[in-house]
Structures are given as C-alpha cells and as structure tokens.
C-alpha cells in the first residue's frame, strides 16, 4: 500500500511529542513493507516569505477560494528546507505551500475539510486533528488526547477549533487512532463514536535511537554526578504541575539537586519567576535550564536518579516512557494515562497532594536498592511500547482498514 503521513509537527525546529509519534509511524510503515510518503505545507521561496501585508492577505483569499476544490501538492524530494534528521527515510516527499494554514482558515469559515489530490494513495494518516483529507484514500486521524476540551484552562488557545475539528472527524465516520486506553475512553464518550471506530496504538520509544549518540559532557556544567540529581523535563505549562513539584521537592528536605529542563511553555509566569529565583539561590538545590539539544537531554535522562513527572493530566506521557526505556526510575501521577504507561514500575502519586509527591521523592532518594529495582522494572515495562510491539499494532490496524 501507499501510505502518506503529514509533516505538520515534523517541520517544527524543536519538535514535539507528536513529531516523535509521526516518525515512529513512518518507520513502522517502512518496516511493514509499505510505501511511505510524507506531506509538508512549507514555504519554498524567499519571495513568498517576504510578501507585503497586502500580498499576504491576497494570498489568504486565493487559498480560501481554492480550498473547496482542493490542493495539488508537488513532489519536493530534496527541495524543502526541513532538515532530514527531523524525519526518517521515506519513498516520496510532497509539499504544498501553506497547506495546513489554508485548510485551517477554510475550516474556520466553512466547517468543511479541504481535499488533497495525490494519486494512488491508499491510506492518509493525519498525526494531529487537521481539517484535510486525501481524496480517494482511507483517511485516519490521530487524536492524542482531549486535554483542550476536558481542561480548557490547561491549554493556551484554539480550544473551540480543536473541538470542532475533532467533532467533524467523528461525524465524518473517519477512523480515529489514539495513544492510550484513557484517551480512547475519553474520545468514545465525548463524541459518541462506536468503539470499533477508535484504535489505541500506544506510542513507541526505541532506546536504540539514542545508542549512537556520543556521551555529552552536559553534567559538567552543573558539577552533577551520575544518578546524583532528580530531573523534570518538559514545557512549563498548567498541566505539568510545576508549582506543586517545587513545593514537594523543597518540603522533602533531600540534598539531591533538582534539575528542571524547561522547554518553553506558557501561562505559568509565577512558576517561571519562582524557578528563576530558586535557581539563583545556591542553597535551594534547584537548577534551571532552557531547551537542550536531543543528545544532551538523553544524557540527562539516562543519568538521573529519577524523573519526576506529577502531571495533572496526560493522554500518554512520553517523558515517563523515555525515562523507563533509558533505565531511569520515575515518579508519576496516578491519574489519566500515566498509570497504564508506568504500570507497576514507578512510584505513583496524587498530583494534587504536595505531601504525596514529597513522600515519593524522599522514598526514591533514600532507598538505592528499591530504586534499582524500579529501574529494572521500568526497562521491562518499556518493552511493552517497543517499536516491534507498535509495528504489530499498526499492522492490525491496516488489516482492519483494508
């Protein structure tokens, strides 16, 4: 079969968990012997990127007029500015300038999905809810979670658009893929879709992808030692619960430093200011670092005493899977998808309880033998989300769709 996947998130310079998911899907497609195609919506000329405000407005109007008829992407192998290391090898790359923006603009005004014309495609996989479909193909859409709809205060913007696109996918009867049983239950309940319409594929992580990364001297800059610090990594945003994490860490009284790798974020200005103030205090034990390259982050995960992830809600929880797969113990929330991802391998806490988080920090800090047991159990648990297991689930999905 010929299978096309969108590069909506893979084009982003710093990547996202959705980009990681898309790359894993492309590798599974190739591993199953299918032909893999990748679709971008990138600007390809300097002239188009430097239009005047009037020129940009006229282009939007032209895209809107064109959208009902659909767009015809062109082959773009080796032409795009998107770096090759952001996606695995594929059989063909396609691009249509501003494709995703144009489709979203048309959907806001009309509530309709925009057709894409690429001949011979059997399955189109949209790794994020996008108002697009490939005409003549079986279209499947991944809805990773319903956090924007269940907890709108936890997201920055776009709640109504997200709701409307997800609802339209459900009404169209398109097949939906998600990444946990928790999210699957949420989707079925919120949009009243048949159970057989929603497949949980989980999300894989392959530690072999990191095996060729050379050691990074990242610990040296803070004079940290192997297994001698706690780690939190992720965006500083409301659902990550960073305020309670800091309270719990300080209340725990442990001497082990807490390294926070803050990859962007929004809506948590107070937590950010507090983090910066604690990082300036040499007695706090808190170290703050902004976004790090993948190589450095992997080294930090692998060598941490434990990853602390008391999130208020996750549709999957890739940081805990990455940590377990790299041999690091985890402390995670006992809500949403995290218990099914962590299984019995990690310490589960009540994310609303500072005492619960604090007790777990003290326990994992003061019990080296128990921590090593959790590292070993984490490696075993992570095997449930291996590329091989994921590929088998995707093969079953394709069999049901054919």
Give the C-alpha separation, 187 to 176, whole Å. 9
Angle between helical axes of 269-280 and 242-252 (0-180°, round to 10): 30
Determine the pLDDT at residue 155: 79
CATH class of 2-204+386-401: alpha beta
Q: Do domains 2-204+386-401 and 208-384 have the same CATH topology?
A: yes
Give the C-alpha separation, 131 to 112, whole Å. 7
Determine the pLDDT at residue 77: 83
Give the C-alpha separation, 278 to 395, whole Å. 49
Q: What is the pLDDT along the chain (402 residues), one digit of tens a residue?
A: 999 999 999 888 766 789 999 999 999 999 999 999 999 999 876 546 666 777 677 778 888 888 899 999 999 987 787 777 788 999 999 999 999 999 999 999 999 999 999 999 999 999 999 999 999 999 999 999 999 999 988 777 889 999 999 999 999 999 999 999 999 999 999 999 999 999 999 999 877 766 655 666 788 888 899 999 999 999 899 999 999 999 999 999 999 999 999 987 888 889 999 999 999 999 999 999 988 888 889 999 999 999 999 999 999 999 999 999 999 999 999 999 999 999 999 999 999 999 999 999 999 999 999 999 999 999 999 999 999 999 999 999 999 998
Domain 208-384 coded CATH 3.40.50.300: no
Q: What are the residue ranges spanned by the domains of the chain?
A: 2-204+386-401, 208-384
Q: What is the pTM of this model?
A: 0.91
């Amino acid at each position: 079969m010929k299978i096309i996947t969108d590069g909506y998130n893979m084009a982003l310079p710093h990547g996202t968990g959705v980009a990681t998911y898309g790359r894993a899907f492309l590798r599974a497609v190739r591993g199953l012997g299918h032909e893999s195609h990748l679709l971008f919506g990138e600007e390809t000329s300097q002239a188009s990127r430097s239009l005047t405000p009037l020129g940009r407005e006229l282009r939007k109007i032209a895209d809107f007029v064109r959208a009902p008829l659909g767009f015809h992407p062109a082959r773009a192998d080796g032409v795009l500015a998107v770096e090759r290391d952001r996606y695995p090898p594929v059989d063909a790359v396609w691009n249509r300038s501003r494709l995703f923006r144009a489709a979203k603009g048309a959907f806001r005004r009309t509530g309709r999905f925009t057709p894409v014309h690429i001949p011979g495609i059997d399955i189109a996989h949209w790794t994020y809810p996008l108002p697009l479909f490939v005409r003549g193909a079986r279209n499947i859409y991944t809805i990773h979670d319903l956090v924007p709809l269940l907890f709108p205060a936890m997201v920055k913007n776009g709640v109504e658009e997200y709701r409307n696109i997800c609802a339209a996918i459900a009404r169209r009867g398109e097949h939906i893929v998600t990444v946990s049983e928790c999210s699957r239950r949420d989707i079925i309940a919120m949009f009243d879709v048949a159970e057989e319409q929603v497949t949980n594929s989980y999300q894989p992580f392959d530690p072999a992808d990191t095996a060729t990364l050379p050691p990074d001297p990242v610990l040296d800059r803070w004079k940290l030692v192997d297994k001698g610090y706690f780690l939190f990594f992720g965006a500083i945003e409301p659902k990550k619960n960073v305020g309670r994490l800091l309270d719990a860490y300080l209340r725990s009284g442990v001497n082990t430093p807490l390294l926070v790798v803050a990859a962007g974020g929004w809506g948590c200005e107070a937590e950010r200011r507090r983090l910066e103030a604690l990082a300036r205090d040499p007695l706090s034990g808190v170290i703050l670092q902004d976004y790090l390259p993948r190589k450095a982050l992997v080294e930090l995960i692998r060598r941490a005493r434990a990853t602390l992830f008391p999130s208020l809600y996750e549709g999957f929880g890739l940081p805990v899977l990455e940590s377990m797969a790299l041999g690091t113990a985890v402390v995670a929330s006992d809500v949403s998808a995290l218990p099914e991802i962590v299984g019995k391998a990690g310490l589960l806490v009540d994310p609303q309880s500072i005492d619960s988080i604090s007790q777990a920090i003290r326990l994992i800090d003061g019990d080296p033998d128990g921590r090593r047991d959790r590292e070993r159990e984490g490696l075993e648990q992570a095997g449930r989300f291996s590329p091989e297991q994921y590929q088998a689930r995707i093969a079953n999905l394709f069999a049901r769709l054919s």
